[in-house]
Homo-oligomer: A and B are copies of this chain.
Amino acid sequence: MTELENMGRRAKEAARALATAGPKKDAWLLEIAGALEAHRDEILAANRQDLQNAKESGMSEAMLDRLALNPGRIAGMAEGVRRVAAQADPVGRVISGGVRPNGLRIEKVTVPLGVIGMIYEARPNVTSDAAALCLKAGNAIILRGGKEAIRSNTAIAEIMRAAAAKSGLPEDGIQLVRDTSRESALGLMNLTGYLDVLIPRGGAGLIRSVTKNSRVPVIETGVGNCHVFVDESADPEMAAGIVFNAKTSRPSVCNAAETLLVHRAAAEQILPLVKKRLDEKNVELRCCERSLRILGGPDERLVPATEEDWETEYSDYILAVKVVDSLDDAIAHIAKYSSGHSEAIVTQSVRSAGEFTARVDSAAVYVNASTRFTDGGEFGLGAEIGISTQKLHARGPMGVNELTSWKFVVVGNGQIRI
């Protein structure tokens, strides 16, 4: 039995206890929150080591910022765990039920998924966020973070495990893979028979690798090539405001817009307005021929677009821009290039809004609002473990309810099937 199989076996055992743990799960979560604060200095010491190693190996400033913890961020982690504890128990909820003509009482009841694997990158706060959400839904979790954060993650995981004792629950409900090699990631992807699902969280490269190589069922998350379409009838100021927000309020996240599509009848009026707003943040525009002409490019921040631009999630102050002939063309462009995350239409036409929301096949479709709202908190689901861009099991922001399955509980008095 390999080390990972051994972890899988222990996780399965822990999952059995967690499945029926009820409020004990919240006791463990509250212990975790307190322990993260009580052991703040240990976590910060481990994080300083990670940061020093990362600097020595030449990590970028943006990545260093993602890796860095400070007292405020640790307080935020603890607060996040407390918020998860305060949510309603997602397990044991009766989804539907009734009595059949033969007298059988059938209830469809939520249960945990079982054992969840999580492969993620540099941000150590994911360690406590993901563990809290999985635990709340009665699942055991095996965490495999990036090598850059291994010391921080190890410290956090040990603190969470040690907090189990007082709640009477098995510490193996939370396990961290210490080996951060590519082999350990591949090992998790092949840990069928132990893992019920694997959730990758990180950049497009990680997600692609996991969906391609995993034999364990995967929930694909977080790759966002999001579009805003400004229709013929759009309110110009609203359109400029939404595009500006969708692109620039936080360009590094998956719900930021990457391509602007503009109806040709609105292009002459809308594009200069949009450009004026985006200039505040020095956004570079990668333009189709028509939009380039309208905006008077090319110049330093007005660049002709290539095919690749329609496919790219920039995660940066860059926006692809295309003039389209119709709503149909906009929908066709989105069908071809979107990653199925979030798309918005700006329009005053009820008919265009209806067509767009019905025919665009993405996790979230917006009318007259920014794509930036696709988020568990904003949608009222509480904290999220990721945003699914696939259609199986869960789609869009996934909260604790999306970390459950169901069983049918059938009660009779001797019924047999004729």
Chain A interface helix/strand/loop/mixed:
mixed
Determine if B196 and A392 form an interchain contact, defined as CB atoms under 8 angstroms apart: yes
Any chain B CB within 8 A of the CB of A407? Answer: yes
Q: Which of A1-45 contact B (CB under 8 A)?
A: 16, 19-20
Interface band, chain A:
35 or more
Does A337 belong to the interface (CB within 8 Å)? no
Q: How far is the CA of A215 from the CA of B113 in the complex (A)?
A: 21
CB–CB B16/A392 < 8 A: no
- Tell yes or no: A159 within 8 A of B by CB: no
- Chain B residues with CB under 8 Å of A114's CB are 361, 391
Q: Which residues of B contact A242 (CB under 8 A)?
A: 414, 416
**Chain-B contact segment, one of A82-90, A260-268, A286-294, A369-377:** A369-377
Contact call A378/B100, Cβ cutoff below 8 A: yes
Q: Which residues of B contact A335 (CB under 8 A)?
A: 16
Question: Can you list, as one digit per residue, whether each of A354-388 has a CB less than 8 Å from chain B (1) or not (0)?
Answer: 00011101111111111011100011100000000
Q: Besides A217-B392, A219-B392, 7 other CB < 8 A contacts? A: A111-B361, A192-B211, A217-B218, A353-B411, A362-B407, A367-B411, A368-B413
Interface residues of A (CB under 8 A from B): 16, 19-20, 98, 100, 104, 106, 111, 113-114, 192, 196-197, 211-212, 215, 217-219, 235, 238, 241-242, 244-246, 249, 335, 353, 357-359, 361-370, 372-374, 378-380, 390-393, 395-397, 405-418
A sample of 14 cross-chain residue pairs with beta-carbon separation below 8 angstroms, ordered by A number, consists of: A98-B380, A100-B379, A106-B379, A196-B390, A245-B416, A363-B407, A363-B408, A364-B409, A365-B410, A369-B413, A370-B415, A373-B417, A391-B405, A397-B408
